[in-house]
Amino acid sequence: MDLHRKGVFSMPVSDISEPHEAYNGEVNSEDFWETLSMERIAAGLLKTGDRNPYNIKPNFEYWAPWIGRYTRKAPIVLNTEWQKVQSTSAQDLITEMGITEERLSDELMKLKVAEIRKLCKACGVGTQGSKTDLLSRLRGQMQTRTAYDKIFQKVWGASGGWAVILCPCGVVYSVKFLIRAESPRDFSDMLFSWKHMPNICIYDFARGLATHANVRRPEAMPFAPFEGLLAEDTEDNLRAALSGTLTVSLPWLNEKKLDEDVSCHPVTGSSDHYALYDKFHESNSKDVRDSLRKIQIVPELAGSVNTQAAEQLFSGMRKNNYFLNMMSPTTHMFFVRNILHIQNEEKNKSMLTKIQKGHSKTTVNLQKDSLGRLVVGKFITCIP
């Protein structure tokens, strides 16, 4: 799971009104995406200057993520993005803003000194001193909502990017086009809309995701056991994890559990849910307990799972950003979703060809199982 920050559309952030009181965060994704298709068709029939009756302006209550038909529970999916703006509880602010703040700080570092100085002026803090002085002043200011919004608008300049959930093989299962800055809320919205939440989530801000999801659904505790840590945070375990000697085997990642857990994932038979860091992001963390979220601890994952799938997808999409980012919000979404769909199909097709080539000397019976996966003897691939 990751964010593509460069995939944006222009949008005045302040123009979006709050949703109606009755809005509970549920939106019909089938209707929404159908309207986006209708907008494209109607565009071909209208005269220049005519208003497209299917156009949807960015808003908080009719704005749906795209989640694969067989991946989602139902056409009704969650989008609670407006709560990023409304939230006042301390816990929410920590999980919502803390994460984005880390991303913002990274982006601020890349700005030129003159730009940082301008930003300091806009936020009403001193403009004297070195780049480090300016940055530390801005970071202090980010704790307040108004300064934070100013910094966000300057650095981002537009919408919040795409939050994407994809399989390590590269197949994209979900994408959410963010109006505001990314937060674990966005990934939780999508995961809560899935029929089966994956047992392992790899995310740059794994701790924030586990905390947010568990605070939001305390009765279900989506990330458990140990709040999505691989082992209990005892002194012994922490010491072992920090020295690189801790091993937690999850054999059901390779072979389904014979004795299935209650409400388990149908592929693994396990109901455990872990939120982990890939090896490039684990050093970001300031919390020592996060050493229990390293994927290297799990022998079934270490070295064999491609944790760079999202980066690979985003670097491939970069060549499209010059035209995608000039489009209106809904056109942008329609085309991104189309490109992702075609890429998914291509990935599946090339996997199929590879399997067929491997079996060319024998007749092979390829079938899909009840979960839509391609089955060749014992070999299973992922087909969404």
307 vs 169, 275, 312, 364, CA distance in Å? 9, 13, 10, 31
Q: Are 278 and 295 in contact (CB under 8 A)?
A: yes
Question: Which residues within the stretch 153-182 sit at the binding site for Zn ion (CB under 5 A)?
Answer: 167, 169, 171
- The residue ranges of DSSP E strands in 62-210, in sequence order, are 66-67, 76-78, 161-166, 172-178, 200-202
Report whether 139 contacts 105 (CB < 8 A): yes
Q: Which is nearer to Zn ion, 78 or 309 (CB)?
A: 309
Q: What residues from 87 to 146 belong to the interface with Zn ion (CB under 5 A)?
A: none
Report the residue number, 217 or 341, with the smaller CB distance to Zn ion. Answer: 341
Q: Which is nearer to Zn ion, 43 or 169 (CB)?
A: 169
Binding mask 222-261 for Zn ion (x = CB under 5 A): ----------------------------------------
Between 189 and 228, how does the x/- string for binding to Zn ion read (CB under 5 A)? ----------------------------------------
The string over 220-236, giving b where at least 16 C-beta atoms fall within 10 Å of a residue's C-beta and e elsewhere, is: eebbeebbbbbbebeee
Q: Tell the smallest beta-carbon distance from residue 307 to Zn ion (Å).
A: 13
Closest separation in Å from C-beta 378 to Zn ion: 17
Strands 379-380 and 374-376: antiparallel
Q: Which is nearer to Zn ion, 310 or 382 (CB)?
A: 382
Euclidean distance between CA atoms 104 and 107, whole angstroms: 5
In whole angstroms, the minimum distance from the beta carbon of 326 to Zn ion comes to 32
**Sequential DSSP letters for 204-229:** TTHHHHHHHHHHH-TTT-SS-SGGG-
Minimum CB distance to Zn ion, residue 348 (Å): 9
In angstroms, give the least distance from the CB of 51 to Zn ion. 42
Dihedral of alpha carbons 371, 372, 373, 375, sign: positive
Query: For Zn ion, which is the closer residue by CB, 229 or 301?
Result: 301
Q: Do the Cβ atoms of 276 and 206 come closer than 8 Å? A: yes
Nearer to Zn ion among residue 123 and residue 382 (C-beta): 382
Q: What are phi and psi of 312, to 5 degrees?
A: -65, -40
The smaller minimum CB distance to Zn ion, of residues 129 and 266, is found at: 266
What residues between 282 and 321 interact with Zn ion by CB under 5 A? none
Angle at 51 between CA 6 and CA 321, to 5 degrees: 15
User: Could you tell me the smallest distance in angstroms from the CB atom of residue 384 to Zn ion?
Assistant: 8
* 3-state SS record for 236-268: HHHHHHHCCCCCCCCHHHCCCCCCCCCCCCCCC
Choose, by CB under 5 A, the member of 1, 164, 210, 382 that binds Zn ion.
382
184 near 275, Cβ under 8 Å?
A: no
In angstroms, what is the minimal distance from the CB of 210 to Zn ion? 23
Q: How many chain residues interact with Zn ion (CB under 5 A)? A: 4
Please state the separation of Cα 301 from the chain's center in Å. Answer: 20
To Zn ion, the closest distance from the beta carbon of 359 in angstroms equals 20
Closer residue to Zn ion, CB minimum distance, 215 or 351: 351
* 76: contact with Zn ion by CB under 5 A: no
- Tokens (6 digits) for 297: 């601890």
Residue 169 CB, nearest distance to Zn ion (Å)? 3
CB-nearer residue toward Zn ion: 295 or 324: 295
Residues at the site binding Zn ion, with contacts judged by CB under 5 A: 167, 169, 171, 382
